[in-house]
Amino acid sequence: SVPLFVDVDTGIDDSLALLYLLASPEAEILTIASTGGNVPVAQVAANNLAWLDLCGRTDIEVTVGSPTPLRIPLRTTEDTHGPQGIGYAELPHSSRGPSDRSSARAWVEIARERPGSVTGLVTGPLTNLALALRLEPELPHLLKRLVVMGGVFNHPGNTTPTCEWNIFVDPEAAQEVFAAFSVVPADRRPLICPLDVTETIEMRPEHLRLLAQAAGSEPAELITEQDPPGTRSRTSNPIVRHLSDAVRFYLEFHRDHGQGFLAHMHDPFAAALALNPGLAVTRPATVDVELEGTLTRGTTVADWTGMWGRGPNADIAVGTDPAAFFDHLIERVGGFAAR
Ligand code: BDR
Ligand code: CA
């Protein structure tokens, strides 16, 4: 099994990443840490609790992280993910509250409990992990591996011309994390899953229909571009219904931004890499974050050829097979929703 520390800013694609992990028998989810990003941290925690309730996993802890990035005010993006971060989905509120310990404290305590065995997966800003590193500088040595959805290298950004959202929200945190993890041996280097690759993971209505079919949901989902914006799913399967309502918002967002009626599933792909790093082709590089530039603050820069003379501190995902990924995702999440 793969013991996982999951740190998210849920988020529509974070939601599907969670469903995928909950559907994966080898994933042992130790905790779900909430970080502010797509929506404020309290809403992220509420979303995490609600998805867990829906999936009958009230045994999994949810922690709350810092309400703000390390040095700057929090920016959120309800335009992208909906007023509550889950698109048009209206999940029943959980009666459960989050855990008493902070997300940063949870990172440290869980890593210390199982030294060398926990994979950390971050699909939001790196605020919690940066705070955890201040509490426990040995953290890079205590984790088995770190997988991060974030950054963009040879491709346009999605927040500024050169910035990816997760890094843009808390560039100081990202800079501290990448620097801190430069001490780990080559076989445990952080695996960075940048926009360059995650924008090839295009979810289309057809994928949702196949997922609904795999879940045995009746009627099978028929999300079409012609339906008026905000059209809700009619299926009785609650997981498929809420997922469709969330993803519809994301499809409309991408269409309204000239990208077609599709949605980039950044975080589910990073989640799959946390379970199976072999799903992506990777290249080692030295990664750093620009903190000064008036135009480029928050930009991730990769030195692929050793010009900085510092040695690689990351393996960057540079390619994958999106069709094979969707087959895998649909089989897992569809099968899980069928139960
Ligand atoms: C990242 O930004 C967020 O909006 C998504 O959830 C994803 O983690 C992509 O840039
Ligand atoms: Ca995210």
pLDDT (tens digit per residue) in 282-296: 999 999 999 999 999
Residue 314's pLDDT is 98
pLDDT recorded at residue 89: 97
- Say if pTM beats, i.e. exceeds, 0.95: yes
pLDDT for res 67: 96
Q: Mean pLDDT for the chain?
A: 97
Residues (pLDDT < 50) of the chain are none
pLDDT at 94: 97
Q: How many CB atoms lie within 10 A of CB 56?
A: 9
What ipTM was reported for this prediction? Answer: 0.99
Give the number of C-alpha atoms closer than 13 A to the C-alpha of residue 126, restricted to the C-beta side: 28
pLDDT at 305: 98
Spatial CB neighbours of 239, under 8 Å, sequence gap ≥ 6: 19, 54, 55, 215, 333, 336, 337
Looking at residue 48, its pLDDT comes to 98
Mutational pocket test of ligand 1: of 170, 200, 267, the residue with most ligand atoms within 8 Å of the beta carbon = 267
Ligand 1 contact, 7 CB (< 6 A)? no
Q: Which ligand lies nearest to the CA atom of residue 7 in the structure? A: 2
Instruction: Quote the pLDDT of residue 167.
Output: 99
pLDDT (0 to 100) of residue 329: 98
Mutate to test the pocket of ligand 1, among 38, 162, 300 (most ligand atoms within 8 A of CB): 38
pLDDT in the model for residue 224: 85
Q: CB of 158 closer than 6 A to ligand 1? A: yes
196 Cβ inside 6 Å of ligand 1:
no
